[in-house]
Chain A
Amino acid sequence: MATPTPTATLDLAACFPGAVSADARPGYKGWIIEKDKLVEVATAIRDELGYDHLTAVTGVDYLPEGKMEVVYNAFKTTGGPVLTFKVQVPRIDPVEVPSVTSVWPGAEFQEREAWDLMGIKFTNHPDLRRILMWEGFEGHPLRKDWKEAFYEEDAKPFKSRWPEGRHVMAEERSPFKDNITFPKDFDPEKWVPEGEEALYGALAKYQTEEDGLKTDHIVINMGPQHPSTHGVFRVALTVDGETIVSLKPVMGYLHRNHDKIGERNTFLQNMPFTDRLDYFNSMSNNFGYAVAVEKLMNIQVSERAEYIRVIMAELSRIQNHLVFIGMLGNDLGMMYTPALYAFEERELVLDIFEAASGSRMMCNYFRFGGVVRDLPEGVLQKINDLVFERLPGKVDELDRMLTENEVFISRMKGVKVIDAENAIRYSITGPVLRAAGVPYDIRRADPYSVYDRFDFDVAVRQNGDLMDNYLIRLDEVRQSLRILQQAVKQIPAGPVMPGKPQYQVRVPAGESYGRVESPKGELGYYVVSNGKPNPWRYHVRPPSFVNITALEQMCIGVKIADFIAILGVIDIVLGELDR
Chain B
Amino acid sequence: MYGKGIFKGLSVTLNRFWTTYTEDIRWLFSGKKRYFNEDGVKARAGKDTKGIFTVQYPEERLIIPEEFRYVPFLVYDEGADGRKEVRCTSCGICSKVCPPQCIWIVRTNDPNTGRPVPQPAEFYIDADICMNCGFCAEYCPFDAIKMDHDFEIASYDRNVFNLDKLLKPAAYYESIRPLNAARENEARKAKEAAKAAKAEAA
Residues of A in contact with B (beta carbons under 8 Å apart)? 156-158, 160-167, 169-170, 265-266, 268-273, 337, 341, 344, 347-348, 351, 354-359, 362, 364, 372-373, 376-377, 382, 385-386, 389-390, 397, 400-409, 501, 503
Contact sample, A vs B, 13 pairs, CB 8 Å cutoff:
A161-B95, A167-B104, A167-B126, A169-B158, A355-B65, A355-B66, A358-B134, A362-B133, A390-B48, A402-B9, A403-B5, A404-B5, A406-B5
Query: Chain B residues with Cβ under 8 A from A357's Cβ?
Result: 67
CA distance A269 to B5 in the complex (A): 51
CA distance A348 to B6 in the complex (A): 28
Interface contact B133-A406, CB-CB below 8 Å:
no
- Residue in A166, A386, A401 whose beta carbon sits within 8 Å of that of B12 in the complex: A401
Query: Chain A residues with Cβ under 8 A from B9's Cβ?
Result: 400-402, 404-405
Interface contact A407-B6, CB-CB below 8 Å:
yes
CB-CB contacts below 8 Å: B89-113 with A: 90, 92-93, 95-99, 101, 103-107
> Is residue B8 contacting chain A, with contact meaning CB distance below 8 A?
yes
Interface contact B12-A397, CB-CB below 8 Å:
yes
Closest Cβ of chain A to B47, distance in Å, is 4
Interface contact B68-A354, CB-CB below 8 Å:
yes
Q: Which 10 A-B pairs have the closest CB atoms?
A: A404-B5, A165-B104, A163-B107, A272-B133, A358-B69, A162-B92, A269-B99, A385-B47, A157-B96, A167-B124
Query: Chain B residues with Cβ under 8 A from A272's Cβ?
Result: 99, 131, 133, 135
Query: Chain B residues with Cβ under 8 A from A372's Cβ?
Result: 134, 138
CA distance A400 to B8 in the complex (A): 7
Contact bitstring B140-160, A, C-beta under 8 A = 1, else 0: 000000010000000000101
Given A389-B47, A503-B97, A354 contacting B107 (CB threshold 8 A)? no
- Residue in B45, B135, B179 whose beta carbon sits within 8 Å of that of A503 in the complex: B135
Query: Chain B residues with Cβ under 8 A from A501's Cβ?
Result: 138-139
Residues of B in contact with A (beta carbons under 8 Å apart)? 2-6, 8-9, 12-13, 16, 45, 47-49, 53, 65-69, 90, 92-93, 95-99, 101, 103-107, 116, 122, 124, 126, 129, 131-135, 138-139, 147, 158, 160, 179
CA distance A483 to B94 in the complex (A): 38
Interface contact B122-A165, CB-CB below 8 Å:
yes
Interface contact B47-A390, CB-CB below 8 Å:
yes
CA distance A404 to B4 in the complex (A): 8
Report whether over half of chain B's contact residues are helix, strand or loop; otherwise say mixed. Answer: mixed
Query: Chain A residues with Cβ under 8 A from B134's Cβ?
Result: 358, 364, 372
Query: Chain B residues with Cβ under 8 A from A376's Cβ?
Result: 65-67, 179
Given A354-B68, A389-B47, A503-B96, A165 contacting B103 (CB threshold 8 A)? yes
Interface contact A166-B106, CB-CB below 8 Å:
yes
Interface contact B99-A265, CB-CB below 8 Å:
yes
CA distance A207 to B104 in the complex (A): 64
Interface contact B67-A355, CB-CB below 8 Å:
yes
- Residue in A268, A408, A409 whose beta carbon sits within 8 Å of that of B97 in the complex: A268
CA distance A412 to B69 in the complex (A): 43
CA distance A156 to B95 in the complex (A): 10
Closest Cβ of chain A to B8, distance in Å, is 6
Given A162-B107, A337-B13, A405-B5, A358 contacting B122 (CB threshold 8 A)? no
Which of B47, B107, B122, B129 gathers the greatest number of chain A CB atoms within 10 Å? B47
Given A165-B103, A358-B69, A358-B134, A401 contacting B92 (CB threshold 8 A)? no
Interface contact A162-B95, CB-CB below 8 Å:
yes
Query: Chain A residues with Cβ under 8 A from B69's Cβ?
Result: 358-359
Query: Chain A residues with Cβ under 8 A from B97's Cβ?
Result: 157, 266, 268-269, 503
Closest B residue, CB atoms, query A340: B53
Query: Chain B residues with Cβ under 8 A from A269's Cβ?
Result: 97-99, 135
CA distance A269 to B95 in the complex (A): 12
Interface contact A161-B105, CB-CB below 8 Å:
yes
Interface contact A162-B124, CB-CB below 8 Å:
no
Interface contact B45-A406, CB-CB below 8 Å:
no
Closest Cβ of chain B to A474, distance in Å, is 14
Given A358-B69, A402-B9, A341 contacting B96 (CB threshold 8 A)? no
Interface contact A356-B67, CB-CB below 8 Å:
yes
Closest B residue, CB atoms, query A406: B5
CA distance A170 to B129 in the complex (A): 9
Closest Cβ of chain A to B155, distance in Å, is 15
Which of A265, A269, A407 gathers the greatest number of chain B CB atoms within 10 Å? A269
CA distance A268 to B139 in the complex (A): 12
Question: Besides the contacts A156-B99, A166-B104, A359-B68, what 18 more A-B pairs have beta carbons closer than 8 Å?
Answer: A161-B96, A161-B98, A163-B116, A166-B106, A269-B135, A271-B133, A272-B133, A354-B68, A359-B132, A362-B133, A377-B179, A386-B47, A397-B12, A404-B9, A405-B5, A405-B6, A405-B9, A501-B139
Closest A residue, CB atoms, query B139: A503
Given A376-B65, A503-B96, A362 contacting B131 (CB threshold 8 A)? yes
Query: Chain A residues with Cβ under 8 A from B129's Cβ?
Result: 170
CA distance A157 to B97 in the complex (A): 7
Interface contact B147-A268, CB-CB below 8 Å:
no
Query: Chain B residues with Cβ under 8 A from A356's Cβ?
Result: 67
Interface contact B101-A156, CB-CB below 8 Å:
yes
Interface contact A162-B105, CB-CB below 8 Å:
yes
Query: Chain A residues with Cβ under 8 A from B131's Cβ?
Result: 272, 362
Interface contact A347-B13, CB-CB below 8 Å:
no
Interface contact A164-B99, CB-CB below 8 Å:
no
Query: Chain B residues with Cβ under 8 A from A362's Cβ?
Result: 131-133
- Residue in B5, B6, B66, B106 whose beta carbon sits within 8 Å of that of A165 in the complex: B106
Given A167-B124, A167-B126, A354-B68, A162 contacting B96 (CB threshold 8 A)? yes
